[in-house]
């Protein structure tokens, strides 16, 4: 069955875009995770046919972006993984409107916006994720969120039809949208920015970059902020106050630089990271009565 699926996917996408037993450690910023049965990097127009194939053959399928907010189990992922990336990374600018594919990196979009003297996306210039993933979770940083700049999103429905949704219908809130609940797959999005001055935009981006470099453990693999911000608290402060700075399980560690980050300190497995997150959550709850909820999404077999 796997051989048949592989050969059919090669016919749809080209053999150079289809990979068997592909280690997910190459596709996540945590640099952990077991093999995907089959991984494919499709163009937008190929997705419907891929999903129809999976449905026909009753094969599970999983969609990922840049892997910057994922923890993939050491057992890997069964079925087909669709990686929305370079094949869907086009960016076009018309006036103050930016249209980009779901695979476009936020940093690339922010850079192009700055070059066109458009302001409003500076907050996203250092987020190491793709547009599709950012839309799905309403990604944000330094006071800005995707809902501030998003105007509409084109998705593929579970039935295989394309649908364009205005931002008002996405129910965007803190790290939430209706997209995963409805089983939608983000294809592209339109952002609306504002005219600005290039030197001021670059200055803001440089300032945010300096803050990231000085305060975040960018020298180690991680998935960014590991836990969601509990209402009325900061996850990193709670973890620090619980005495967990530098706390380690296997090769995974609570960053000594920023307690809100769990890092792959030394050849960690996904199990190490998962166990560390669970222990941190339990200890914080015992000490402060606040339950930390993972911002990182877990997929695959643990």
d(CA 43, CA 52) in angstroms, rounded, equals 15
Is 31 labeled as catalytic in the residue annotation? Answer: no
Name the residue with tokens 């476009």.
104
For helices 106-115 and 198-215, what crossing angle results, to 10°?
150
Residue 94: count other Cβ atoms within 10 Å of its Cβ.
9
Among 31, 78, 175, 245, the one annotated catalytic: 175
d(CA 134, CA 128) in angstroms, rounded, equals 10
The span from the first CA to the last CA of the chain, in angstroms, equals 24
Structure tokens at 247: 């706390």
Hey, which bits of the chain come out as E strands?
18-23, 35-40, 61-64, 70-72, 77-83, 91-94, 97-101, 118-119, 140-141, 144-145, 150-156, 162-166, 185-192, 194-195, 222-225, 248-249, 252-254, 261-264, 297-299
Is 225 labeled as catalytic in the residue annotation? Answer: yes
Is 245 labeled as catalytic in the residue annotation? Answer: no
Among 22, 122, 145, 295, the one annotated catalytic: 295
The SS3 of residue 222 is strand
Asked whether the beta carbons of 210 and 140 are under 8 A apart, the reply is no
Phi (first) and psi of residue 150, to 5 degrees: -80, 140
Among 225, 255, 270, 281, the one annotated catalytic: 225
User: Which of the residues are catalytic?
Assistant: 175, 225, 295
């Amino acid at each position: 069955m796997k051989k048949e699926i592989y050969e059919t996917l090669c016919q749809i996408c080209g053999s150079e875009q289809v990979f068997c037993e592909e280690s997910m450690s190459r596709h996540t910023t945590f640099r952990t995770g077991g093999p995907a049965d089959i991984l494919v990097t499709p163009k937008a127009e190929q997705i419907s046919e891929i999903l129809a194939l999976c449905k026909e053959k009753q094969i599970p399928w999983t969609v990922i972006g840049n892997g910057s907010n994922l923890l993939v189990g050491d057992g890997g992922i069964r079925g087909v993984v669709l990686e929305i990336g370079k094949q869907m990374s086009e960016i076009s600018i018309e006036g103050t409107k930016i249209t980009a594919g779901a695979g476009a990196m936020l940093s690339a979009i922010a850079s192009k916006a700055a070059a066109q003297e458009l302001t409003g996306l500076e907050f996203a210039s250092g987020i190491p994720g793709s547009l599709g993933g950012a839309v799905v979770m309403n990604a944000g940083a330094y006071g800005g969120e995707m809902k501030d700049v998003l105007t509409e999103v084109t998705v593929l429905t579970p039935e295989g039809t394309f649908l364009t949704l205005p931002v008002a219908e996405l129910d965007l809130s803190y790290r939430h949208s209706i997209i995963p609940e409805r089983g939608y797959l983000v294809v592209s999005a339109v952002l609306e920015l504002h005219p600005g001055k290039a030197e001021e935009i670059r200055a803001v981006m440089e300032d945010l970059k300096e803050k990231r470099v000085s305060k975040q453990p960018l020298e180690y693999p991680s998935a960014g902020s590991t836990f969601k911000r509990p209402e009325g608290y900061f996850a990193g402060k709670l973890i620090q106050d619980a005495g967990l700075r530098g706390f380690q399980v296997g090769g995974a560690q609570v960053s000594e630089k920023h307690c809100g980050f769990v890092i792959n300190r030394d050849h960690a497995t996904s199990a190490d990271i998962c166990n560390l997150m669970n222990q941190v959550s339990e200890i914080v709850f015992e000490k402060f009565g606040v339950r930390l909820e993972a911002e990182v999404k877990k997929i695959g077999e643990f």
